[in-house]
Amino acid sequence: MRILIAPDSFKGTLTSRQAAQAMAEGIRAVNRQADIRLLPMADGGEGTLDVLEGAWQTSAGLKRHVERRSFDLPSGAAISADYLILNENDLSEPVAIIESAQLIGMNLPHMPDVDIMQRGSGALGVAMRALLDSGYRHIVVALGGSATNDGGLGMLMQLGMQAFGADGRPVTPDADGLRAVREVNFSKLLKEVRKAKIQVLCDVQAPLLGRAGASRKFGVQKGLSRDQCMEMDMGMARYAGLCEQALGMPLRAMPGSGAAGGLGFAFALLGGELESGADYIMKASGIAQGLEWADWLVTGEGRSDAQTLMGKIPFRLAASAASAGVKAALISGTVDSGDEAAVKKLEKHFDRMIAVYGKRIADDLNATVAYADLREAAGRMAA
| pLDDT score recorded for residue 307 | 82
Domain parsing of the chain, residue ranges: 2-39+286-382, 48-277
pLDDT under 70: residue ranges of the chain = 58-62, 73-76, 88-92, 337, 359-360, 362-363
| pLDDT score recorded for residue 264 | 97
Burial label for 107, CB within 10 Å (0-12, 13-18, 19+), is: middle
| pLDDT score recorded for residue 290 | 94
Non-local CB neighbours of 253 within 8 Å, separated by 6+ positions: 207, 208
CATH architecture of 2-39+286-382: 3-Layer(aba) Sandwich (3.40)
| pLDDT score recorded for residue 74 | 65
Non-local CB neighbours of 112 within 8 Å, separated by 6+ positions: none
| pLDDT score recorded for residue 306 | 85
Phi, psi (deg, nearest 5) at residue 160: 115, -10
| pLDDT score recorded for residue 62 | 64
Contact 240, 258 (CB under 8 A): no
Q: In DSSP terms, which residues pair with 197 in a beta bridge?
A: 138
Alpha carbons within 13 A on the beta-carbon side of 197: 7
| pLDDT score recorded for residue 92 | 64
Q: Determine whether domain 48-277 maps to CATH 3.30.1280.10.
A: no
| pLDDT score recorded for residue 373 | 94
| pLDDT score recorded for residue 100 | 94
pLDDT tens column, 207-242? 999 999 999 999 998 999 999 999 999 999 999 999
